[in-house]
Amino acid sequence: MRAAVSATYRYLPKQIMTNHDLEKMVDTSDEWIQSRTGIAERRVVSEGETTSDMCTHIAKGLLEQSNTDPNEVEVIIIATVTPDMPTPATASLVQNRIGANNAWGFDLSGACTGFIYALDTGTRLVESGKYKKVMVIGVDTMSAVLDYTDRNTCVLFGDGGGGIMLEPAENEENGIIDSILRTDGSGADYLKISGGGSLHPASHDTVDQNLHYIRQDGKVVFKYAVKGMADISEEILIKNNIKSSSIDLYVPHQANKRIIDSAAKRCGFIDDQVYININRYGNTTAGTIPICLDEAVESGRINKGSLILLAAFGAGFTWGSMLIRWGK
Ligand code: COA
């Protein structure tokens, strides 16, 4: 039995931060950001708004869209690297706020591949036959870990996310067909937040050294991201004997438009097959793919029967791809 997506939902904070706003904070320009990344603006949370707040909006939207009573939800998986706090899990906070009295849940840390990792985990839970309503949400509040004096990182990221409801497929053609997931910790140093864990517990010193912010070697990450996304997209197509022309929509993680374009070109996708919204939201880490999915469903670019390919690459390094036949 396959797991299928029965509903999608997204949440983006209202406040827009444009490239011109960033020009006032760091030595950058709208021209540089747009030409190197494809990003024109991103969303940022309002004061006091948190990851669990965004997740709660999404969870409530999913309940409504899938006609589900909160008591029917069995598992809540939240992919995020910016939980409200290390413990309790964001999933517990959301469970309480939506009144999912019979659910258990956990947070999953897979950075930009987090949503695909979480979706695969949820898929296996449904396929086991034990669970029939699994919520999978990917949200990040990147503004909480961005150094707005570091032009190498602050221009790239934004806040927001989305989610899906997973249920057993009613039609055996539909649902999650396959996935390939990878991680390679030898890339750990190129993209990380090093402070606040057991290696560098929070202290005056870690704050003075700015260890609680995200840091990256953009050039190295770029190179691995193009190769990782393209390789794993090709691998899943070959494994399932599917031509790239048969894919109705390629939904790649939105980190940089040039990364997406290179990966899409290598796989042989034409522009119409590729979903891109990075211009409006930047990189929302675990949030990008579920935001894209919900927008694409709403705008009619994903329909019942559509063949969808997801691909992502992120810190860890982590990367993965997933094939879905849309519909329940
Ligand atoms: N505005 C203006 N200049 C900037 C800048 C900014 N926001 N950020 C960096 N620069 C400068 C650098 O300091 C460097 O200057 P230098 O050559 O004097 O040292 C120069 O621009 C680098 O230019 P270039 O080599 O052309 O940049 P790039 O093409 O590698 O693009 C990134 C930089 C960060 C956009 C790109 O490497 C990237 O997207 N990497 C992947 C990042 C990512 O996706 N991370 C998340 C992964 S999921």
For residue 317, whether the previous peptide bond is cis, meaning omega lies within 30 degrees of 0, is yes
For residue 88, whether the previous peptide bond is cis, meaning omega lies within 30 degrees of 0, is yes
Distance of CA 269 to the CA centre of its chain: 21
Ligand 1 neighbour 216 (Cβ under 6 A): yes
Q: Which of the listed residues 153, 168, 183 is the one where a domain comes to its end? A: 168
Residues 52 and 74 in one domain: yes
pLDDT of 51: 98
Closest Cα to residue 327, out of 166, 122, 119, 123? 166
Residues 63 and 179 in one domain: no
Residues 154 and 193 in one domain: no
Roughly how many angstroms between the first and final C-alpha of the chain, as a whole number? 12
Residues 104 and 217 in one domain: no
The DSSP secondary structure of 292-305, one letter per residue, reads: HHHHHHHTTSS-TT
Q: Find the 189 Cα to ligand 1 centroid distance in Å.
A: 17
CATH number for the domain spanning 83: value is 3.40.47.10
Residues 205 and 296 in one domain: yes
Residues 131 and 189 in one domain: no
Residues 212 and 151 in one domain: no
Residues 156 and 98 in one domain: yes
Q: Find the 303 Cα to ligand 1 centroid distance in Å.
A: 37
195: number of CA atoms within 13 Å, CB side? 16
Residues 316 and 282 in one domain: yes
Residues 164 and 181 in one domain: no
Residues 120 and 256 in one domain: no
Residue identifier of the C-alpha nearest atom 12 of ligand 1: 152
With a CB cutoff of 8 Å and minimum separation 6, the contacts of 27 are 151
pLDDT of 74: 98
Q: CA-CA distance, 132 to 127, in Å (whole number)?
A: 9
Asked whether 297 and 5 are in contact (CB, 8 A), the reply is: no
Q: How many domains does the chain have?
A: 2
Q: Find the 149 Cα to ligand 1 centroid distance in Å.
A: 14
Which residues face 79 on adjacent strands?
A: 108, 138
Please list the helix, strand and coil fractions of the chain in percent, rounded to the nearest 5, in that order. Answer: 40, 25, 35
Catalytic residues: 112, 253, 283
Q: Which residues of the chain have pLDDT under 70?
A: none
Q: Which of the listed residues 168, 191, 223 is the one where a domain comes to its end? A: 168
Q: CA-CA distance, 274 to 279, in Å (whole number)?
A: 14
Q: Which of the listed residues 168, 187, 218 is the one where a domain comes to its end? A: 168
Ligand 1 neighbour 318 (Cβ under 6 A): no
Instruction: Determine the structural domain holding residue 213 and report its residue range.
Output: 175-325
What's the mean per-residue pLDDT of the chain?
A: 98
Say how many C-beta atoms besides its own lie within 10 A of residue 186's C-beta. 8
Alpha helix positions (H), 113-181 = 114-127, 151-154
Closest Cα to residue 67, out of 328, 270, 246? 328
Ligand 1 neighbour 219 (Cβ under 6 A): yes
Residues 236 and 296 in one domain: yes
Ligand 1 neighbour 282 (Cβ under 6 A): no
